[in-house]
Amino acid sequence: MDIAMKRVLLKLSGESLMGDQQYGIDPEAAKLYANEVKSIADEGLEIAIVIGGGNIFRGLNAEKSGIDRVQGDYMGMLATLINGMALQNAIEQLNIPTRLMSAIEMNKISEPYIRRKAIRHLEKGRVVIFGAGTGNPYFTTDTAAALRATEIGADVLLKGTRVDGVYSADPEKDKNAERYETINFETILENSLKVMDLTAFTMCKENKLPIIVFDINKPGNLLKVVKGEKIGTLVQ
């Protein structure tokens, strides 16, 4: 995949931290992702991470519990900070410096998100974890990833998932689903293929930010992606 990568943003779902559990944080899953991050940090890449909170609380499901949507979304933002702290701990155990930055000020555990400061951390070789989404309700962490990637001038948005790319249909339901090696934004929109939510996807399209969708759970895949191997699906 012909993209010169110096600065990348990795998007992880909160569910990815569950491992084989039904909820919460599996230390082994956190360790796996920390090792993946280390593999590309050792290559000299500047790395930012956005992680969701769905393993703890998902704002979209809050209304089913009688919780106001806005309140639920803020609860989900706090869940992303819990995940960010867990990932931060796992990465720092590998002697990689990190900074956790939050869109909602919580100075006992994180720095407030300031764009220039985030870029400076990256330039100094620190892994920057962005928590609390965009800081606003009604926006997903996919949108937060697209926004932060654009703000920091990332070369690519790496979306780590449990599937190995973008398919013509859900590969878990349709055995005949075709995996795309490369695909453009227009084709995804025309065929309503699920890559990210529409707000996030549109932001990437308008800012010409390429997306690579790949299987993050296979050890070594992240390093292969940044080295240009044909892993996953390139959207541009």
Q: For residue range 37-66, what is the model confidence (pLDDT) as tens digits?
A: 999 999 999 999 999 998 888 655 666 778
What pLDDT sits at residue 172?
76
Tokens of 2: 């012909």
Tokens of 102: 């939050």
Residue with tokens 């997306």: 211
Q: Report the range of poorest mean pLDDT among 59-73, 124-138, 139-153.
A: 59-73
Phi, psi at 135, each rounded to 5°: 90, 5
The domains located in the chain, with CATH, are 7-156+171-231 (3.40.1160.10)
pLDDT category at 188 given cuts 50, 70, 90 is confident
Q: Is residue 22 over pLDDT 90?
A: no
Angle 226-86-101 from CA coordinates, rounded to 5° = 75
Q: Is residue 2 over pLDDT 70?
A: no
Share of the chain above pLDDT 90, in %: 68
pLDDT category at 1 given cuts 50, 70, 90 is low
Instruction: Pick the closest to residue 187 from 172, 201, 177, 175 (CA basis).
Output: 201
Q: Is residue 102 over pLDDT 90?
A: yes
State the pairing for strand pair 211-215/156-161. parallel
Q: Is residue 193 over pLDDT 80?
A: yes
Cα–Cα distances in angstroms (integers) from residue 16 to residues 100, 110, 126, 148, in the given order: 19, 22, 23, 20
What pLDDT sits at residue 195?
82
Burial class (CB in 10 A: 0-12, 13-18, 19+), 65: exposed
What pLDDT sits at residue 209?
96
